[in-house]
Structure 1
């Protein structure tokens, strides 16, 4: 089995024998089903599902939430402490945000019904873009219907085969896919290592027409942040553009939630391209690019993911705009979030848990060291009324399998202490040995 799922060689062999016997009992699949089963990764996925079933593990993914997922949520008609959503400032479900969305539906209906260029433009789109640009203090911004598609279409459209993209090894899939689509030469540097990035850029820049460095302002897997001034200096020295993905930084990093540039004391105009999403702090769905007016105008009239895509639903744009207004008016939400995250990180470290390189802003991983161990730990916590998702191979190496805790401003100190105590209890003594088996 791929990477062994944290099992010993003996246990792995026994499991493979059981799965092989099951497969023989099923018999061959018909033609079409057999062809679909040959799709890349399909067999691995099937093996993972069957292995989890054989080990008595529930599927922790796609659990339906029966209400607003905030610090708590209802799953299976049971209220649990929730660390599985990006509702960082508790604005998803806020009455003011809901009212803004409802007003937009009453005025414009549910859908934009067309590409904004054709006939899908609504006043709220421009208002949201102006507010995003003002948030960063840059010329302009452009809203896209999908956060993932924002990176894919912008990177795929902006760069080309004669260009160079230098990306952090932990960059989000959307940026990696956009870079691949562009046809540019792609070089990944060791995560958060600006010195490694400098070496790679210095060696490769001369042969490229244009160069772009892509980093995140707050990394979603590890919860750490980059040394932004170093990357700005590097970009200027090598005549490169710098793009920062702030999907998990907006409303989270910086004293008032303005992001990594506020945290580092840097003028946002020093970054050439800001990217972010509306689906986390801002309670909507979609993505944005903010920066230079010429860049934004060019994307607005030529980026395939904007020109040929339906516009963002007016209700989502209105929800994001109202969330952005609340963020500006109530910075105490950011302070509560950061205090909660700092407390969780401190207690986890005191409990001897491996939290990796987390900076303690909103994302704290607890690295378990095996996919089976992480899945079992997630299930054990769920049984205790705590919802947190495992990150398993192949999303991360099996030795880095983990639970990933997303904190919010709405978590209470009691909930955080209860969670870390449960983690310590489940991972201690014989239970820890059971998790790693």
Structure 2
């Protein structure tokens, strides 16, 4: 099966007009952009944050908080950290209306969100019977496969009739079917490695105590295995890891390399194969490749890929393989269909066109944001696009302003980011059209002028920024 998949992938039809050449991206010419924060902005951000904490402490002393409090805890350690509680109650609560929105539709180019109101200053919310439709720049729908219609949906309907909704067993018992085997072979062929194993959704304990206990050194001998662990795309910075240099270090010091491709698989490289495809590196130079299907593939679960010895070991010893319920058949089929489209095995050029569309959208949107005077972090080829607003108050204000224009974005602040680096994170998608991007950019220009978000000190080029349609 693997050899057939590899052959069909390599022999896929060539794209008209040399579409693959459109994806060279001028990789070596792209720089990581991290503009220094203005001193005045740093001072004001600090003052604003600590002022909110101070006001929160006064409120906490004067007024009884509308939350459950610990009782009968004498002799026990507290369940909650006091600073965390103050922060959640009196800082985060002020922007809580910008988070935890209830989605009631497909997270495609547009998304339906339920309307809600608060009558107690965001302590609680009441859902209404109405909904609003937003242009979606908040979901990790990089290649636009989050759809309720199309090839993925059509194939999945047939699979549900044949296999049902769930497997109801672990992989090592009665939870392995031919879809799992087909998917694992497809992933190995796609990545160009020996083998792969897929997992359903995995929830790690905060301290992953069993793994820590298993991995604790029992002697004072030198370490036998040293790992370099990195990501393909860093989800808060929008930066792309320098894989060639990391591989050089790996080879020099004879250590192991583990790459998390959660955001890069499907979204980077001329073939959508991730970070090693982007840099044209050999996938076998990476010892462990890990990724998720919840972003570029519009599904759920994840995979680990590498040598056959590694994957065989995981199949036998991984707790997720031994005890966890295996991936549901409809979930597996969505991945098989979307990955086959990317590889060109199914539906001709549709998959590669999505990759090219994503790359065009990313470059156009990033350059336009910079031309507006925004501080934009990360690499010009990264679909994660952080726009710095610095203060927590402006994070909330910016998200609310975007909501007025029916644009869904993600506001991110402390503790997910450094205290003084609050940001708006745009997640680009191949499903978005140029007209939708222009609508977002027009709204962005109005918002940054209203809220004073033009923090960039870099000279703005007068060169016209064109959307390069690859078709």
Residue 368 of structure 1 and its aligned partner are, at CA, apart by 1.0
1:225–1:359: 8 Å Cα contact kept in structure 2?
no
1:347 aligns with 368
Q: 2:63 aligns with which of 22, 28, 35?
A: 22
Q: 1:62 aligns with which of 96, 100, 103?
A: 100
Supply the distance in 1 between the matched residues of 2:353 and 2:257 (Cα, whole angstroms). 31
1:123 aligns with 178
Q: 1:318 aligns with which of 333, 340, 347?
A: 333
1:234 aligns with 249
Alignment of 1:7-406 (within 5 A): 7=48, 13-23=54-64, 29=69, 31=71, 38-41=78-81, 44-45=84-85, 47-53=87-93, 55=94, 57-76=95-114, 77-93=131-147, 94-146=149-201, 156=211, 160-162=215-217, 207-329=222-344, 330-406=351-427
The 1:42/1:9 distance shift into structure 2, 3 A limit, reads: closer
SS at match of 1:334: helix
2:107–2:141: 8 Å Cα contact kept in structure 1?
yes
Residue 269 of structure 1 and its aligned partner are, at CA, apart by 1.2
Residue 11 of structure 1 and its aligned partner are, at CA, apart by 5.9
Bigger mean CA deviation after superposition, 352-361 or 291-300: 352-361
2:370–2:376: 8 Å Cα contact kept in structure 1?
yes
Supply the distance in 2 between the matched residues of 1:39 and 1:184 (Cα, whole angstroms). 35
Runs (4+) off by over 3 Å: 3-6, 8-16, 26-30, 32-38, 40-43, 49-53, 147-153, 155-159
1:341–1:362: 8 Å Cα contact kept in structure 2?
yes
Bigger mean CA deviation after superposition, 226-235 or 124-133: 226-235
What are the Cα deviations for residues 296-334 of structure 1, in whole angstroms up to 9, with x where unaligned? 000000011221111011110111111101112220100
Aligned length: 387
TM-score (norm 1): 0.80
What are the Cα deviations for residues 189-248 of structure 1, in whole angstroms up to 9, with x where unaligned? xxxxxxxxxxxxxxxxx9311111111111111111111111111111111111111111
The 1:152/1:255 distance shift into structure 2, 3 A limit, reads: farther
The 1:152/1:322 distance shift into structure 2, 3 A limit, reads: farther
The 1:268/1:151 distance shift into structure 2, 3 A limit, reads: farther
1:428 aligns with 449
2:53–2:87: 8 Å Cα contact kept in structure 1?
no
Supply the distance in 1 between the matched residues of 2:367 and 2:144 (Cα, whole angstroms). 22
The 1:116/1:369 distance shift into structure 2, 3 A limit, reads: same
Supply the distance in 2 between the matched residues of 1:322 and 1:389 (Cα, whole angstroms). 29
Supply the distance in 2 between the matched residues of 1:381 and 1:67 (Cα, whole angstroms). 19
- How large is the Cα RMSD of the aligned pairs? 3.2
The 1:29/1:104 distance shift into structure 2, 3 A limit, reads: same
Residue 73 of structure 1 and its aligned partner are, at CA, apart by 0.6
1:157–1:303: 8 Å Cα contact kept in structure 2?
no
1:170 aligns with none
The answer for unaligned runs of 5 or more in structure 1 is 163-182, 186-205
SS at match of 2:172: helix
Residue 419 (1) aligns with residue 457 (2): no
SS at match of 2:435: helix
The 1:137/1:9 distance shift into structure 2, 3 A limit, reads: closer
Supply the distance in 1 between the matched residues of 2:407 and 2:413 (Cα, whole angstroms). 18
